Amino acid sequence: MASSLAKKIREIREAETSGRHEFSELLDIPKKTIEGIEQTGRVPKGDILEAICKKWPQYTLWLMTDQVNEAAGQISPGIEGACDSLKRTGTDTE
């Protein structure tokens, strides 16, 4: 069974990149490492979590604690996707 962190990393990758290759290049992490995390649920090492949090700091709180704080700019990929969808359909309130 995949770890919670592995699932979250996949969500971030899917929200922010076109695939594992791009994700691994942006983070300077081997693609095989990303595949191993996502496919086996292996718990990622600290340097991988650090790289993700530095590249996409808006997901740090959610990635590490499963919480969000939109007022502080701390969101989850699901929130980001919902906001983008609302903006595309013209149903946002801004």
Domain ranges of the chain: 4-89
Render each residue's pLDDT in the chain as its tens digit; 94 residues.
Answer: 468 999 999 999 999 999 999 999 999 999 999 999 999 989 899 999 999 999 999 999 999 999 999 999 999 998 765 555 545 556 555 5
CATH topology of domain 4-89: 434 Repressor (Amino-terminal Domain) (1.10.260)
* In the block, residue with structure tokens 């499963």: 66
pTM above 0.85, yes or no: no
Q: Which long-range contacts (CB under 8 A, 24 or more apart) does 61-66 make?
A: 62/8, 63/5, 63/8, 63/9, 63/12, 66/4
pLDDT at 81: 54
pLDDT at 82: 52
Rg (CA), the chain: 14
CB 33 within 8 A of CB 48: yes
pLDDT at 14: 96
